[in-house]
Amino acid sequence: MKVVVVGYGPGGAAAALAARMFSPKADVTVVTEETRDAHQKPGASMALEFPDTEALRIADWSPEALRKKRVDVLLGTTVTGIDRESKTVKIEGPKGKKTLKYDKLILATGGVPKVPKIPGSTLPGVFTIQDMSDTSEIGKKLDGMSKIAVVGAGFSGLETAERLMHLGKEVHMIVRSRFMRRQLEEPMSSELRARVPRSIHIHAESSPDSIEGASKVEAILVNGERLEVDAVLFMTGVAPNTELAESLGLEIGSLGGVSVNETMQTSDPDIYAVGDCVEMADPLSGKPMLLPVGSVAARAGRQAGVSSVGGKKVYGDTMLRLQYDRIFDTDIVCVGHSSTTSKSVGIDSTVQYFEDPTEFTKAALVVDQKGRLIGGQVIAPRMGARLGYEILERVETGAVLKEKPLLKPRHERLKEHLENTFGPIR
Ligand SMILES: Cc1cc2nc3c(=O)[nH]c(=O)nc-3n(C[C@H](O)[C@H](O)[C@H](O)COP(=O)(O)OP(=O)(O)OC[C@H]3O[C@@H](n4cnc5c(N)ncnc54)[C@H](O)[C@@H]3O)c2cc1C
């Protein structure tokens, strides 16, 4: 059995390892345009953050680690064509041109950064970050620059703003509505914003109108205001990279991602697709969703890897969003649906808030009409992952919150302990 995986992000690496672990005799090859180790992709670090999840099992993705497990990794190699009839993949890399045969093919080609088509958006000094090679190139170019605009306030926009602040740059964040609008409830978003250092200039409810400059970026116009900047970084998300899938005539879904079933199989039974390039059915509503998140790509990769070599198991947690980051000395955890994403797939939800003032921790719990916990968010100065893990456990098992409440906040547990020991406290 020959398995060829295109892509070496969390989706491709997890798929290759899962195929190898499930089928020791399979011949598994990963082809990637990247010249660096998948470890260094921003999303890959995500899998290390939640030690109790499946993610840890596929966390060592270096080419050496994969090769030790007899997965061949072809770095700096581009797939230039695929033929479904002869089941062959044409590649071009450091060793020239070659053709690989496959029995099963797994596409994990990722996403393409979205940049709004505004005047000046192609000027030198306008950047997007997709992988570490981009990041280090951009880092060199930013060296002599002092004022930078970051457009977008998702995880990657916030991470980027923080790094630029540490480099001593004047940072302007251009935020269309509010921080992490899709992932966080409004009060959580405000809580996060309150923790951003004042040295970062936040332009909320603002969109860039145009970028100005004679031969390179000199200013950005935001809601009519002219901000003088040396560079603009668009951190405005990705669209599925379906170029190869489309060239093969695979079915593309209504949201623009490759259509897959619950085993990540495409419209061709010998081709699977995972990660940012696909759209999947939300398990609660059955409606299609795009979920360009490292943990989802890794879980989908595991599913495709196992299924491609004949495994029958269907993991139920592939679509479960699990994001953790520590930005501006704050733990941010997002699990499952927010009220915004649940509404987008037609699920009515209510949100309960939970606060532990002794630990300056806030959580939002998203509950469906049956009382099941379908998602949650945590903002905390530290140990946010602990509460995030409690939420994850309940979302994974579809627990009814009333029957399996979260641990009481520490101050309530302390009060109970003192009352049990010394009698009622007034
Ligand atoms: C700056 C930044 C920060 C992020 N932070 C987080 C985070 O904190 N948490 C989180 O969960 N997610 C984060 N993400 C998102 C996460 O990185 C992605 O969801 C994840 O990488 C998607 O994995 P993937 O396997 O689908 O594709 P990718 O990781 O995008 O990999 C695509 C692969 O396909 C290969 N490829 C494409 N076309 C070809 C071809 N023709 N030939 C050969 N190879 C090809 C590329 O070389 C690459 O290896 C971040 C993303 C960015 C850009």
User: What is the pLDDT at residue 38?
Assistant: 58
Atom of ligand 1 nearest to the CA of 14: 25
From residue 420, alpha-carbon distances to 100, 357, 358, 423 in Å are: 70, 22, 20, 6
**pLDDT tens column, 88-115:** 999 999 999 999 999 999 999 999 999 9
User: What is the pLDDT at residue 92?
Assistant: 97
Are residues 26 and 75 located together in one domain of the fold? yes
User: What is the pLDDT at residue 413?
Assistant: 67
Residue 279 falls inside a structural domain: yes
Identify the sign of the CA torsion 192, 198, 202, 204. Answer: positive
Instruction: For residue 359, give the DSSP letter.
Output: G
Task: Return the bridge partners of 150, or none.
Answer: 173, 233
User: What is the pLDDT at residue 295?
Assistant: 87
Are residues 103 and 243 located together in one domain of the fold? yes
**pLDDT tens column, 43-93:** 433 332 333 333 334 456 778 888 888 999 999 999 999 999 999 999 999
Ligand 1 lined by 121 (C-beta under 6 Å): no
| Atom 38 (ligand 1) nearest CA | 109
User: What is the pLDDT at residue 316?
Assistant: 84
Residue 315 falls inside a structural domain: no
Task: Return the bridge partners of 251, or none.
Answer: none
Ligand 1 lined by 129 (C-beta under 6 Å): yes
Are residues 131 and 229 located together in one domain of the fold? yes
User: What is the pLDDT at residue 253?
Assistant: 98
Helix axes 294-308, 10-22, angle to 10 degrees: 30
Cβ neighbors of 194 (< 8 A, separation 6 or more) are none
Among residues 187, 214, 234, the one where a domain terminates is: 234
Cβ neighbors of 48 (< 8 A, separation 6 or more) are 55, 56, 59
User: What is the pLDDT at residue 244?
Assistant: 97
Are residues 120 and 187 located together in one domain of the fold? yes
Residue 323 falls inside a structural domain: no
The model's pTM: 0.89
Ligand 1 lined by 276 (C-beta under 6 Å): yes
Residues of the chain with pLDDT under 50: 40-58
Q: Which two tokens stand for residue 178?
A: 């509010």
| Atom 1 (ligand 1) nearest CA | 156
Identify the sign of the CA torsion 73, 79, 81, 84. Answer: positive
Task: Return the bridge partners of 238, or none.
Answer: 113
Give the structural domain span for 218: 115-234
User: What is the pLDDT at residue 37?
Assistant: 63
Most informative mutation of 4, 37, 293 for ligand 1 (most atoms within 8 A of CB) = 293
Residue 374 falls inside a structural domain: yes
User: What is the pLDDT at residue 139?
Assistant: 77
Residue 422 falls inside a structural domain: no
b/e code 44-63 from CB counts within 10 Å (16+ = b): bebbebbeebbbeebbbbeb
Among residues 273, 308, 343, the one where a domain terminates is: 308
Are residues 190 and 243 located together in one domain of the fold? no
Q: Is 125 left (phi over 0), alpha (psi -120 to 50) or beta?
A: left
User: What is the pLDDT at residue 208?
Assistant: 96
CATH number at 368 reads: 3.30.390.30
Side-by-side strand order, sheet with 126-128: 126-128, 231-234, 147-151, 170-174, 201-203
